[in-house]
Amino acid sequence: MTQLSVKHLLGIKDLTEQDIKLIFETADNFKTIINRPIKKVPSLRDITVANLFFENSTRTRVSFELAQKRLSADIVNFSSSSSSVSKGETLIDTVKNILSMKVDMVVMRHPSPGASIFLSKHIDATIINAGDGTHEHPTQALLDAYSIKESLGEVAGKKVVIVGDILHSRVALSNIYCLQKLGAEIMVCGPSTLIPKYIEQLGVKVEHNLRKALEWCDVANMLRIQMERQDIKYFPSLREYSMQYGLTLPMLESIGKDITIMHPGPINRGVEITSEVADSDYSIILNQVENGVAIRMACMFLLASNQNS
């Protein structure tokens, strides 16, 4: 298979296992290229991409922009804080105005779940979801699964626990879809207030005890508590959360096996993970960030190829 089955990348839910494997094979090639002295290829030379960020981002935004530059695309960057959105312009009007300047592809982060799906029904350009509220973050899940494969050789059969604020996490949902499609077993771990009530219906295990979760897993993906999405208190204090669910080096070493530690960032050091763990040999956090560029190059290259076919 040389083509994706989708026109847009709105969520992992829409992708097939073959799509994900094609993205990984394409990313392997781009990873080789971006480690060469000459890192640039002309693959997207005639493509203009608009990066529309209606919510803050460091990694995703820089990674997409770098991926676009490596592929020789033309880029326009938009952030809602410095735009006419603050004067009351709607999402569709904002995007239609940008697209009328002949943009082929839109990378969008938005605080509302489903924002990219909504947009894909109203405009012709290819849309890539760079995180829509608490819904999905497909390129993060792809780079996470790719990093597990790179680190452990295979995703199929691996046991992955996702720890923390599952309720508000788009990374958790996209990871569950992606890793399951590739044959991994998934567990979520956290306080009951931060685990969605019916999550077992997605075929994941639920565990409230961090030690038991670590004893079960090969990989632990530690998530940030998303205070910005919490309008009520889900636990007494960050200190108490950290005592129950914060990953420390003594705890990790007491399990007595190699566990691969991941984090999508941004990290709250000392809350969900200590610096000792984040910076240890168990951690592949910076490998995840590095792989993000190759994965995003692969996604944009394959989606642009679909546009031309």
139 binds ligand CP (CB under 6 A): no
Interacting residues with ligand CP between 224 and 243 (CB under 6 A): none
Near ligand CP by CB under 6 A: residue from 189, 264, 293, 295: 264
The C-alpha atoms of residue 227 and residue 272 are separated, in whole angstroms, by 13
138 binds ligand CP (CB under 6 A): no
81 binds ligand CP (CB under 6 A): no
Token couple for 25 = 């094979």
| Helix 59-70 / helix 17-34 crossing angle, nearest 10 deg | 70
193 binds ligand CP (CB under 6 A): no
The C-alpha atoms of residue 95 and residue 40 are separated, in whole angstroms, by 28
Q: Judged by CB under 6 A, which stretch of 18-26, 192-200, 233-241, 261-269 contacts ligand CP? A: 261-269
Q: Output b/e per residue, 267-303; b: 16+ Cβ within 10 A.
A: bbeebbbbeebbeeebbbbebbbbbbbbbbbbbbbbb
Near ligand CP by CB under 6 A: residue from 51, 116, 129, 140: 140
60 binds ligand CP (CB under 6 A): yes
Taking the complex as a whole, the smallest distance from the CB of residue 252 to ligand CP amounts, in Å, to 22
The C-alpha atoms of residue 307 and residue 191 are separated, in whole angstroms, by 44
57 binds ligand CP (CB under 6 A): yes
Q: Output 227 or 243, the one with its CB closest to ligand CP.
A: 227
- The binding site for ligand CP (CB under 6 A) comprises 57-61, 131, 137, 140, 264-266
